[in-house]
């Protein structure tokens, strides 16, 4: 009787072991299926992510914010020439609230630079030229900006500033020579010129209107 009971218990233990193994295998297969389903759902959600299309105004705002943030960092490091260069770009841009803030910082940079020695780089001459331009010292502005352009030709922002200086001085022919070059090097300068008060004197000139029409013909990105 004892021997038979032990054999029966052995068979029961074997059956329980097989059942446990079967359950563990089923659980592993179920976990694998859940993991595979999760991977499929993740791939589908990535493929179905909406495509965000930014308008030209949004792109202009993002560019102004980026330039303003970089300018502030240069300003905090007391690199007033670099800061003034970027503040000037923001001040000439179409984002009004950013332009107003940039002008405040730009005026401070200009006061700081007046106490420094003569610049040695094209960027230094450009910064001095912009400071003179904002102070309505047009002859001085043209002198500094021309030196910057001679040291490093082909800088669109230098041509843009030269166009503004010549335009404010009343020399529309040279103003449009540099404005067209600034637009050729950077087509977005059309947008800046359109909203820039420094080009108000040129706004009645047919050549200025042609630049704006060229802007309208360009396909939106």
Specify the pLDDT at position 144. 94
CATH code 3.50.50.60 for 56-217: no
- Model's pTM, two decimal places? 0.51
Note whether 80 and 127 are within 8 A (CB): yes
- Choice among 58-62, 85-89, 136-140, 181-185 with the minimum mean pLDDT: 58-62
Using pLDDT thresholds of 50, 70 and 90, give the confidence band for residue 184.
very high
The more confidently predicted of residues 128 and 51 is 128
Specify the pLDDT at position 2. 43
Q: Where are the domains of the chain?
A: 1-49, 56-217
- Choice among 36-40, 55-59, 107-111, 170-174 with the minimum mean pLDDT: 36-40
Q: Can you tell me the mean pLDDT for 189-207?
A: 89
User: What are the tens digits of pLDDT across the range 67-108?
Assistant: 888 988 888 777 877 888 889 888 888 888 888 888 888 888
Q: Is the pLDDT of residue 41 over 80?
A: no
Q: Is the pLDDT of residue 113 over 80?
A: no
The more confidently predicted of residues 89 and 154 is 154
Specify the pLDDT at position 60. 78
Q: For all residues of the chain together, what is the average pLDDT? A: 78
């Amino acid at each position: 009787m004892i021997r038979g009971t032990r054999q029966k218990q052995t068979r029961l233990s074997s059956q329980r072991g097989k059942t446990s193994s079967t359950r563990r295998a089923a659980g592993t297969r179920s976990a694998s299926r859940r993991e595979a389903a999760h991977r499929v759902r993740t791939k589908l959600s990535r493929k179905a992510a909406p495509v965000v299309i930014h308008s030209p105004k949004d792109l202009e705002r993002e560019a102004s914010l980026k330039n303003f943030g970089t300018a502030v960092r240069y300003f905090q490091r007391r690199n007033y020439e670099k800061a003034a260069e970027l503040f000037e770009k923001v001040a000439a841009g179409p984002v009004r609230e950013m332009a107003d803030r940039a002008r405040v910082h730009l005026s401070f940079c200009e006061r700081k630079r007046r106490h420094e020695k003569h610049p040695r780089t094209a960027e230094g001459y450009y910064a001095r030229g912009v400071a003179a331009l904002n102070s309505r010292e047009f002859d001085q502005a043209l002198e500094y900006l021309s030196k910057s352009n001679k040291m490093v030709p082909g800088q669109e922002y230098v041509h843009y500033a030269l166009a503004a200086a010549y335009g404010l001085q009343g020399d529309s022919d040279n103003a449009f020579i540099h404005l067209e070059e600034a637009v050729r090097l950077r087509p977005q300068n059309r947008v800046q010129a359109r909203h820039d008060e420094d080009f108000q004197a040129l706004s009645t000139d047919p050549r200025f209107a042609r630049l704006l029409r060229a802007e309208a013909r360009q396909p939106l990105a």
